[in-house]
Amino acid sequence: MRYAYAITSALLLGGAAATLTLNPSDAQTAQNEPGAINAISAPRAGAPMSFADMVARLSPAVVNISTTQRITVAQQANPFSGTPFEQFFGGRGGGGGAAPRTQEAQSLGSGFLISNDGYIVTNNHVVSAGAEGATVESITVTLADQKEYKARLIGRDELSDLAVLKIDGANFPYVRFGDSRQTRVGDWILTIGNPLGQSGTVTAGIVSALNRVGQGPYDRFIQTDAAINRGNSGGPMFDMQGNVIGINSQILSPTGGNIGIGFAIPAEQAKPIVDKLMKGQSVSRGYLGLTQQEITADIAAALNITKDRGALVNGVSPGEPAARAGVRPGDVILTVNGKEITAQQSLTYLVGNEAPGSRVTLDVLRDGKRQQIPVTLGTRPTNDQLAAQNERFDPDTAPTTPRATTNLAATAGLVVQPLTPQIARQLRLDSTIRGVVVADVDPNSDAATKGLRRGVVIQSVNRQPVTTEAELIRAIQQARASGAKQVLIYAQLPGSPFAQFVPIGIEAK
């Protein structure tokens, strides 16, 4: 930092500081036209030449968090059980079986006080069991003055990766949340935490990007190049006014260490959740009860829509809000309450930010026509409940009997037969599903390339229901006659809880 400022000072002394050049309002110039951008002659207003005073003020509110976990570990059976050597290895569990044993483990992270009476914000993963069969027995909070406190878990939210703790006492140093919506790419930021067990570590950097989409459905991170490592999780990200604009959460690294790509949960998203958790309330999110799939370039071409815009519905759960409102598989949902669905604003994200029981309007594209569907949202189930709902039998092969097809080109390389009640039972399908079953696939066809195989149930082609091979051929012929190079089939793949739309090429080879 001193080197960077020294260079700047030299430029100023040499008279090289640039001034804003005025141009006619209708004249377009290069974004970095010489003189169009002020030379960086000093830190932006509010940014200090040194972070020392700022750190001294903020550090007392940042805490270290450690957990003690009890892990149950299965032991190996005595390999000499039943032999003359068994008595020499009795401690390893005689009789062929071994009783499980427990062992202790610890984890470290960071957090920060948000009230003078001891409420602390951190990541959920900092205070959660880190392994299967593990339970958290105690949580210890260490302040900057090295005083230790036993903490109680007040609440946690797995989807946002946030948790609130409480320590007993009064007059604790604390910090407030700021407005992360004012944060800009390029702004200076400061982090304080406990990386790799090194308490009170301060790092500085800039905001590298905003609204970074993570692996979770509600992840929209602030990205930074400030050094963030294991143990920084749950610690605060400060702006130059000392406001908490983010909660350090994740890093992207092939090595597990800092490479300059760290992520923080924006204060805008965190504060409403923290407020609920402090009151002992659970965090609930809006829910439609449908599944969707990515709109690839092929699917976009088949539907004549724009790629990366909208959500293609490929399944609707019976009795859930979407089904009750009349949403159907094949619908493309374009907006939620006028907010466009994009890669940064997914359908799940937009709906999840609405309160359960609220009424939203979906702008839907169906059969090439737009219409609006009002929906009263339900409450999103937990991850475990959703996983249980999606659990489905996955046969290796469908117990069908292939039959000859005279012209594979006419069926785009597919050998199909009607879906009978017997086959539906063998495939564990809902009795209401209608279609044709794939008995065989030409390995050289695009259908095979796209993953279609024996046991797949095709319900429609270009939104036309098909229940016989003749209907399949007719739909493909109609598409070819219109000049189309592919069709969009709606297919139930073995093991999948819902059907999916799959574009397959239909050009004769």
Average pLDDT over residues 76-97: 54
Q: What is the pLDDT of residues 110-162, one digit of tens each?
A: 999 999 999 999 999 998 866 555 677 889 999 999 999 999 999 999 889 99
Average pLDDT over residues 20-49: 52
- Chain-centroid distance of CA 252 in Å reads 14
pLDDT of residue 81: 59
Classify 173 as helix, strand or coil: coil
Which helix (H) or strand (E) segment holds residue 472: the answer is helix 469-481
Q: Are the C-beta atoms of residues 234 and 123 closer than 8 Å to each other?
A: yes
Return the percentage of the chain with pLDDT > 90, whole number. 34
Residue 77 has pLDDT above 90, yes or no: no
Instruction: Among 81-90, 372-381, 432-441, name the one with the lowest average pLDDT.
Output: 81-90
pLDDT of residue 407: 67
Q: How many CA atoms lie within 13 A of 495 on its CB side?
A: 7
Alpha-carbon distances of 96 from 72, 75, 85, 102, rounded to whole Å:
19, 11, 13, 20
Residue 336 has pLDDT above 50, yes or no: yes
Instruction: Among 180-189, 279-288, 498-507, name the one with the lowest average pLDDT.
Output: 498-507
pLDDT of residue 399: 40
Mean pLDDT of the chain: 79
Q: Is the dihedral of CA 322, 324, 325, 331 positive or negative?
A: positive
Catalytic residue among 125, 225, 331, 460: 125
Give the E-state strand segments of 426-499 in sequence order: 436-441, 457-461, 464-465, 486-492
Tokens standing for 458? Answer: 């095709």
Residue 233: active-site member: yes
Catalytic residue among 157, 161, 187, 219: 161
Residue 440: active-site member: no
Q: What is the pLDDT of residues 261-303, one digit of tens each?
A: 999 999 999 999 999 999 999 898 999 988 888 788 888 887 7
pLDDT of residue 389: 54
**C-alpha to C-alpha distance for 128 and 229, rounded to whole angstroms:** 18
Alpha-carbon distances of 432 from 357, 366, 426, rounded to whole Å:
29, 22, 14
Average pLDDT over residues 398-416: 62
Q: Are the C-beta atoms of residues 246 and 264 closer than 8 Å to each other?
A: yes
pLDDT of residue 435: 87
Residues 6+ apart with CB under 8 A from 286: 351, 352, 353, 354, 355, 356, 358, 360, 377, 378, 379, 380
Average pLDDT over residues 380-407: 53
Residue 125: active-site member: yes
Q: pLDDT band at 483, cuts 50/70/90?
A: confident
Look at the block and give the residue holding tokens 């998203």.
Answer: 269
Q: Are the C-beta atoms of residues 236 and 267 closer than 8 Å to each other?
A: no
- Chain-centroid distance of CA 12 in Å reads 47
Residue 314 has pLDDT above 90, yes or no: no
Q: How many CA atoms lie within 13 A of 209 on its CB side?
A: 12
Question: What residues are paired with 124 via a beta bridge?
Answer: none
Rounded to two decimals, the pTM is 0.67
Residue scoring higher pLDDT (34 or 342): 342
Catalytic residue among 107, 110, 233, 317: 233
Q: What is the pLDDT of residues 228-254, one digit of tens each?
A: 988 899 999 999 989 999 999 988 887
Average pLDDT over residues 51-64: 91
- Chain-centroid distance of CA 482 in Å reads 40
> Helix, strand, coil: what percent of the chain each, to 5?
20, 30, 50
pLDDT of residue 78: 58
Residue 18 has pLDDT above 50, yes or no: no
- Choose among 237, 227, 236: nearest CA to 260: 227
Q: What is the pLDDT of residues 448-481, one digit of tens each?
A: 888 888 888 999 988 888 888 888 888 888 888 8
